[in-house]
Structure formats: structure tokens, C-alpha cells
Amino acid sequence: MLGTKSTTTLSVAIHDYEQRSNLKFTPDEKFYDRIGINRIRFWQLVKGKKRMFTDEAQALANYFGITVTDLL
């Protein structure tokens, strides 16, 4: 459907993180370096265009304060 966003476990994790922190999540180079992926790969994961590798899930789970299971 045109104009609708797909919901992924990562987009939910970002939303929950924003709610807990009362801050808008805006990834920067420091974030990408810490996670170990680039900007394009990150947004592919957020949009569900690519499958997440285990090491990426672990790094993202650690950053967002959730479990890997929450992302997979």
C-alpha cells in the first residue's frame, strides 16, 4: 500500500528507545562506528530490506538496551 511504513523489529526498537529516552534517535558516524555497519546497511535493516546478521543484532541490542531475541 502506498504511503505506509513497514514495521520491523528494529524500527520498533528505535521507537521504544525514543520513548524511554524522550529523545529523537538520530544516528551519526559515532553510532555507525560503534555498531560496525554503515548508514546504508543500517537503513536497509530498519526498512526490512535486508536480513540482520547475528553480530549486527547483538551490537544493536546492546546499543538499544534490549535482547537479541527482541530483534530477531
Whether residue 24 lies inside any domain: the answer is yes
- The answer to whether residue 14 is domain-embedded is yes
What 8-state DSSP symbol labels residue 23?
S
User: Does residue 2 form part of some domain?
Assistant: no
Output Rg (C-alpha) for the chain, integer angstroms. Answer: 12
Q: How many residues does the chain have?
A: 72
Q: Is 1 among the domain residues?
A: no
Number of separate domains in the chain: 1
Q: Cα dist. 59→36, 55, 62 in Å?
A: 8, 6, 5
Is residue 25 in some structural domain?
Answer: yes
What confidence tens digit (pLDDT) does each residue in 12-60 have? 999 999 999 999 999 999 999 999 999 999 999 999 999 999 999 999 9
pTM for this one?
0.86
Q: List the domain range (segments joined by +) for residue 61.
A: 9-71
Any idea which of 2-11, 23-32, 62-71 has the lowest mean pLDDT? 2-11
**Sequence-separated (6 or more) residues with CB below 8 Å from residue 72:** 9, 52, 57
Return the CATH number at 39. Answer: 1.10.260.40
In 3D, which of 8, 7, 13 has the Cα closest to residue 58? Answer: 13
Within a domain: 4: no
